[in-house]
């Protein structure tokens, strides 16, 4: 369609095949029986009973445990590695280093920037130096500690604002600029001249770490030249292609299995060097090898949301028209090209009507772990700037922030070439319905009253968002099998990363075939036995694979009805499925049990194949959101307590209300962490090392930090233009506006614009004392 969509992050760097067109598209559902219900997860039993085998639970006969020695310096050259002592330690079976032929592979960060698996130049704290396989994990770590390394320690740069200074060490030979992206439409000078008010502000978001509960890693096992990998991953096929490419072996020789996985949030879309290291150790020892990182290692070397300093200048007229937006940012994806500024300006370009927009984004290197895509890359950062700016503009022109946003709702994607329309946009409904359900007006009044006395101040905040992707896209292939007794097998390659994919796909099958969801059994996320799917990321699994599941199911249904028509001596157009029967719509006496259909009995199974068709030409499929929250600020301690949150989302059709609400709350809670407590801390001046590489010092929201009162309010507008199930993505939009809504509520409570994350008591308290804006 246009350039940015063709290069969406979850598909970058992996070959994506075309699947055939899906055939005749089925008509949209008018009324659904199962889709949209509150159905508990189809795999909940496995997950709560402990029988679900996550990759980290895999225990193979003769399996060894691996551990990795990592560079303790942010920038150094490895002069020598002495493994002699480690090699003779109890239980040790193999030690590999940069000198070992078994691990002599190249890892590409981009077309130009490549490194060895154990590269002599370490550009961040945590780069891999050597690895050990031993009988127990304890013994592997004993051996890692016994390896001695001679380093030539180099000067480092851990502050991206100083990365481009001439005095800063160069991280790669071409200098410390990764790239600079520029965009412009209209004429911002003219736009600012037309404005009644202009605000220019600098915002800052800190580096956020994914930290899914299951550690990153895999179990690797060779059977001759056939490699099997059980990895905690969001996409088995994206892993397969990358592993095959690095090892130089055919795709058919790499089987990746990832039935369950304990969270990824974007950090498990691709393999890590750990995957290759496990495969190399397994090859060398001739035994299966389990390599899962420690929690500390995941903090250093398993990705992050890049920190950013953003400047936004905005102009508006008194009537509420936005006249110009000028955005620039400097951000860093760490020591390698890793999308440091990816999509950070997208909301500025696309969320509100504005004729004059200019953006400039500079991605620079620092000596820190490379970023990985993190739940809506760039968007929460961009929203932090834009949505606080919207609030500030509204105040300055004397408008309510909800009304101000309502006045600037676009129905075309202005950031894309040719200004294509969205298939649907529920932004207006999200704001109106959300404000109504939240009690926006009354809540505003309540906070005004709280300012009359006492040290607890109340405030309310709103923020909106859209997600750049979320419409899904080809390819996806799905196979549905109907057994002779009317039960069903669904075979798809997609991973269920905790979003309820398996449950939703089951509901689609059940909806079309009229069977109970319990009659559907699923095989998924295995390159050896299931069909091609792109990784589960970009909020696209439901809109991508859902239509393919529906197509496969319809194929089965049509075949079944044809067989039944032959038995019943009628035309199949008059037949429908009802429970376990095929029945004539014209004459209810003409019917038969599914299990008695001769064609099905003869074949044993009916197989239907479904493909994902293309998205509508010249249109954009995006989900929209508005979130509202109320906070109490303790002006004595600087503590912020969020008392309630409401997420109002337009993600098209609601597929399963139970898992839908769970996603909405989960996204909000992650956003609360981004707003109030999460920040990677690097020792910028003295050592360059990460100071908070654990959950004691890097604070996630706990059960005590989240509001008990949470509301999820879907704007249910099935998007029939988007795809054949009418659903858009949900997983990412739910965390985009959250942090900005919190900051706006804090401002509303105490009149202080907190322009940097996280809003901690240590920073809010002095600002309250000064009675003004936080000094940056």
Partner 1 sequence: MSSDHDSHRCTCGKGLSRRQFLTSAGVGALVVAAAGHLEKEHEASAAVMRSGEGDKITLHINGKQYQMLVEPRWSLLHVLRAELGLTGTKEGCGRGECGACTVLMEGIPRYACMTLAVEAEGMEITTLEGLMNGEELGPVQKAFVEHDALQCGYCTPGQIMAVEGLLRKKTHPTMEDIRQGVSGNLCRCGTYNHIFDAAQRAAELKRGGAQ
Three-class SS of residue 212? coil
- Give the residue with the Cβ less far from partner 1, 455 or 695: 695
Q: Which stretch binds partner 1 (CB under 8 A): 187-195, 498-506, 515-523, 635-643?
A: 498-506
**Which CB atom, from 227 or from 504, has the smaller least distance to partner 1?**
504
Min separation Cβ 386 and partner 1, Å: 24
The reply on whether position 695 binds partner 1 by CB under 8 A is: yes
Q: Put the strands of the sheet holding 226-231 in their side by side order.
A: 92-97, 128-134, 64-70, 289-292, 217-223, 226-231, 254-257
Least CB distance from residue 208 to partner 1, whole Å? 12
CB of residue 665 to partner 1, shortest distance in Å: 5
DSSP state of 25: P
Name the residue among 57, 121, 13 with its Cα closest to residue 535: 13
The answer to whether 180 and 362 have CB atoms below 8 angstroms apart is yes
Q: Which is nearer to partner 1, 413 or 735 (CB)?
A: 735
Least Å distance, CB 328 to partner 1, is: 32
Helix (H, G, I), strand (E, B), or coil: what is residue 542? Answer: helix
**Residues of 365-402 as b/e, b for ≥16 C-beta within 10 angstroms?**
bbbbbbbbbbbbbbbbbbbbbbbbbbbbbbbebebbbb
681 near partner 1, judged by CB under 8 A = no
Separation between Cα atoms, residue 610 and residue 661, nearest integer Å: 29
CB of 695 to partner 1, least distance (A): 4
Q: Which CB sits closer to partner 1, 7 or 136? A: 136
The verdict on 455 binding partner 1 (CB under 8 A) reads no
Element containing residue 607 per DSSP (H, E)? strand 605-611
**94 versus 513: smaller Cβ distance to partner 1:** 94
Cα angle, residue 426 at apex, residues 656 and 12 outer, rounded to 5°: 75
Strands of 211-270 (E only): list them. 217-223, 226-231, 254-257
Q: Cα–Cα distances in Å, from 701 out to 210, 382, 488, 671, 762?
A: 13, 22, 41, 9, 17
Least Cβ distance, residue 775 to partner 1 (angstroms): 32
Residue 91 sits in the site that holds partner 1 (CB under 8 A): yes
Task: State yes or no: residue 570 binds partner 1 (CB under 8 A).
Answer: no
* Least distance to partner 1, CB of residue 686, Å: 25
- 628 binds partner 1 per the rule CB under 8 A: no
Binder to partner 1 among 703, 762, 771, 775 (CB under 8 A)?
703
500 near partner 1, rule: CB under 8 A: yes
Kindly state the tokens that stand for 567: 């038995």
To partner 1, the closest distance from the beta carbon of 547 in angstroms equals 23
SS (H, E, C) 47-76: HHHCCCCCHHHCCCCCCEEEEEEECCCCCE
Asked if 110 touches partner 1 (CB under 8 A), the answer is no
| Helices 738-750/440-450 angle, 10° precision | 40
Quickly list H helices, 604-721: 657-676
In sequence order, the 6+-apart residues with CB closer than 8 A to the CB of 756 are 203, 204, 205, 206, 763, 774, 776
- The sheet with strand 575-578 has its strands ordered as 575-578, 581-584, 591-593
Work out how close the CB of 509 gets to partner 1 at its nearest, in angstroms, rounded to a whole number: 20
Closest CA to 63 of 273, 237, 282, 288: 288
Candidates 259-267, 301-309, 572-580, 623-631 — which segment interacts with partner 1 by CB under 8 A? Answer: 259-267
Closest to partner 1 by CB, 468 or 665: 665
Nearer to partner 1, 203 or 374 (CB): 374
Stretch that binds partner 1, among 431-439, 477-485, 570-578, 699-707 (CB under 8 A): 699-707
Minimum gap (Å) between residue 223 Cβ and partner 1: 21
Choose, by CB under 8 A, the member of 71, 278, 279, 497 that binds partner 1: 497
Residue 213 near partner 1 by CB under 8 A: yes
Interacting span for partner 1 (CB under 8 A) from 42-50, 319-327, 742-750, 765-773: 42-50
> 28 to each of 31, 78, 479, how far by Cα in Å?
9, 61, 21
Instruction: Please select the residue that binds partner 1; options are 83, 139, 572, 634, rule is CB under 8 A.
Output: 139
Nearer to partner 1, 260 or 467 (CB): 260
Told to check if 702 binds partner 1 by CB under 8 A, we report yes
CA torsion angle 688 689 690 692 (round to 10): -120
Kindly indicate which of the ranges 357-365, 427-435, 554-562, 664-672 contains the residues binding partner 1, using the contact rule CB under 8 A: 664-672
Contact 229, 255 (CB under 8 A): yes
Applying CB under 8 A, which part among 278-286, 419-427, 555-563, 667-675 lies near partner 1?
667-675
Q: Which of 21, 48, 155, 196 binds partner 1 (CB under 8 A)?
A: 48
Q: How far is the CB of 541 from partner 1 (least distance, A)?
A: 14
Run of H or E residues at 151: strand 148-153
Stretch that binds partner 1, among 87-95, 118-126, 431-439, 506-514 (CB under 8 A): 87-95
Q: How many CB atoms lie within 10 A of CB 528?
A: 13
Torsion sign across C-alpha atoms 640, 644, 647, 648: negative
Listed ranges 206-214, 401-409, 598-606, 611-619: which one lies at the site for partner 1 (CB under 8 A) = 206-214
- Check if the beta carbon of residue 409 is closer than 8 Å to that of residue 429: no
Asked if residue 295 binds partner 1 (CB under 8 A), the reply is yes
Site string for partner 1, 744-773 (x = CB under 8 A): ------------------------------
**Can you tell me which of 47, 444, 591, 773 binds partner 1, judged by CB under 8 A?**
47
Write the binding mask 260 to 289 for partner 1: x where contact by CB under 8 A, - elsewhere. xxxx-x------------------------
For residue 613, give both structure tokens.
């068709």
| Residue 66 is a binding residue for partner 1 (CB under 8 A) | no
135 binds partner 1 (CB under 8 A): yes
Selected from 142, 159, 387, 732, the binder of partner 1 by CB under 8 A is 142
- Cβ-based nearer residue to partner 1, 295 or 445: 295
CB of residue 143 vs partner 1: minimum separation in angstroms?
10
Is residue 701 at the binding interface for partner 1, with CB under 8 A as the rule? yes
Among positions 710, 717, 720, 761, the unique one binding partner 1 when judged by CB under 8 A:
710
* Residue 31 DSSP SS3: coil
Member of 325, 668, 679, 752 binding partner 1 (CB under 8 A): 668
Residue count, binding to partner 1 (CB under 8 A): 63
3-state secondary structure of 240: helix
Q: How many residues does the chain have?
A: 776
CB atoms within 10 A of CB 90: 11
Helices 738-750/657-676 angle, 10° precision: 60
Distance CA(115)–CA(129), nearest Å, equals 12
**Distance in angstroms (rounded) separating the CA atoms of residues 693 and 690:** 6
Interaction of residue 506 with partner 1, rule CB under 8 A: no
Looking at the Cβ atoms of 22 and 500, the one nearer to partner 1 is 500
Q: With respect to partner 1, which residue has the nearer C-beta, 3 or 213?
A: 213
Tell me: does residue 669 bind partner 1 (CB under 8 A): yes
Can you give the binding site for partner 1, defined by CB under 8 A? 40-41, 44-45, 47-54, 56-57, 59, 89-91, 135-139, 142, 210-215, 260-263, 265, 294-295, 497-500, 658-659, 661-663, 665-670, 694-696, 700-704, 706, 708, 710
């Amino acid at each position: 369609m246009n350039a940015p969509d063709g290069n969406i992050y979850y598909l970058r760097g992996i070959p994506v095949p075309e699947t055939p067109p899906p055939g005749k598209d089925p008509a949209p559902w008018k009324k659904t029986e199962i889709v949209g219900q509150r159905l508990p997860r189809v795999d909940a039993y496995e997950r709560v009973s402990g029988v679900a085998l996550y990759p980290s639970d895999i225990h193979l006969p003769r399996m060894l445990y691996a551990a990795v020695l990592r560079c303790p310096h942010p920038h150094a050259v490895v002069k020598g590695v002495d493994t002699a002592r480690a090699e003779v330690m109890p239980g040790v079976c193999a030690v590999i280093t940069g000198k070992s032929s078994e691990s002599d592979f190249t890892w590409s960060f981009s077309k130009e920037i490549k490194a060895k698996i154990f590269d002599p130049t370490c550009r961040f704290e945590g780069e891999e130096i050597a690895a050990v396989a031993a009988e127990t994990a304890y013994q592997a770590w004993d051996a890692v500690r016994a390896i001695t390394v001679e380093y030539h320690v180099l000067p480092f740069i851990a502050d991206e604002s100083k990365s481009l200074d001439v005095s800063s060490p160069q991280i790669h030979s071409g200098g410390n600029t990764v790239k600079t992206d520029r965009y412009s439409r209209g004429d911002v000078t003219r736009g600012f001249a037309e404005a009644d008010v202009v605000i220019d502000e600098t915002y800052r978001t800190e580096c956020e770490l994914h930290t899914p509960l299951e550690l990153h890693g895999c179990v690797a096992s060779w059977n001759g030249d056939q490699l099997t990998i059980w990895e905690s991953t969001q996409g088995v096929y994206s892993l397969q292609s990358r592993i095959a490419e690095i090892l130089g072996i055919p795709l058919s020789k790499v089987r990746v299995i990832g039935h369950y996985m304990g969270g990824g949030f974007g950090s498990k879309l691709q393999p890590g060097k750990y995957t290759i290291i496990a495969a190399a150790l397994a090859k060398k020892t001739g035994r299966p090898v389990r390599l899962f990182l420690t929690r500390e290692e995941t903090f250093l070397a398993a990705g992050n949301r890049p920190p950013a300093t953003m400047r936004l200048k905005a102009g508006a007229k008194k009537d509420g028209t936005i006249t110009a937006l000028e955005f620039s940012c400097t951000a860093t994806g760490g020591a390698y090209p890793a999308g440091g500024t990816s999509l950070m300006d997208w909301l500025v370009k696309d969320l509100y009507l504005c004729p004059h927009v200019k953006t400039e984004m500079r991605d620079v290197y620092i000596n820190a772990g490379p970023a990985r895509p993190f739940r809506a890359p760039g968007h929460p950062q961009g929203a932090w700037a834009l949505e606080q700016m919207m609030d500030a503009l509204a105040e300055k022109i004397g408008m309510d922030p909800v009304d101000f946003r309502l006045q600037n709702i676009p129905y075309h994607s202005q950031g894309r070439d040719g200004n294509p329309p969205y298939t649907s946009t529920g932004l207006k409904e999200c704001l109106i319905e959300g404000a109504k359900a939240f009690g926006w007006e009354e809540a505003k009044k309540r906070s005004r009253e709280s300012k009359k006395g006492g040290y607890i101040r109340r405030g309310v905040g709103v923020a909106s968002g859209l997600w750049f992707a979320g419409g899904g896209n080809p390819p996806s292939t799905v196979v549905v099998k109907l057994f002779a007794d009317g039960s069903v097998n669904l075979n798809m390659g997609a991973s269920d990363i905790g979003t309820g994919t398996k449950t939703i796909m089951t509901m689609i099958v059940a909806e079309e075939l009229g069977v109970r969801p319990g009659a559907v059994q699923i095989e998924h996320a295995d390159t050896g036995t299931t069909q091609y799917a792109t990784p589960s990321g970009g909020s696209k699994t439901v809109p991508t694979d859902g239509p393919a599941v529906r197509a496969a199911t319809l194929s089965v249904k049509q075949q079944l009805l044809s067989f039944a028509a032959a038995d019943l001596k009628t035309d199949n157009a008059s037949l429908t499925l009802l429970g376990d029967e095929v029945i004539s719509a014209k004459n209810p006496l003409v019917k038969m049990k599914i299990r008695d259909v001769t064609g099905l009995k003869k074949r044993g199974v009916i197989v239907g194949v479904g493909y994902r068709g293309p998205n509508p030409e010249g249109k954009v499929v995006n989900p929209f959101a508005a979130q509202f929250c109320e906070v109490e600020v303790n002006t004595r301690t600087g503590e912020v307590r969020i008392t309630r949150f409401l997420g109002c989302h337009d993600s098209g059709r609601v597929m399963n209300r139970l898992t839908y609400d769970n996603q909405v709350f989960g996204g909000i809670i992650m956003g609360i962490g981004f707003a109030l407590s999460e920040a990677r801390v690097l020792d910028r001046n003295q050592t360059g090392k990460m100071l908070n590489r654990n959950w004691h010092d890097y604070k996630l929201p706990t059960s005590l930090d989240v509001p008990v009162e949470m509301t999820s309010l879907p704007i249910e507008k099935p998007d029939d233009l988007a795809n054949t199930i009418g659903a858009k993505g949900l997983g990412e939009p739910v965390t985009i506006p959250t942090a900005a809504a919190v900051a706006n509520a804090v401002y509303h409570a105490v009149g202080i614009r907190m322009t940097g994350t996280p809003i901690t008591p240590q920073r809010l308290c002095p600002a309250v004392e000064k009675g003004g804006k936080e000094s940056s």
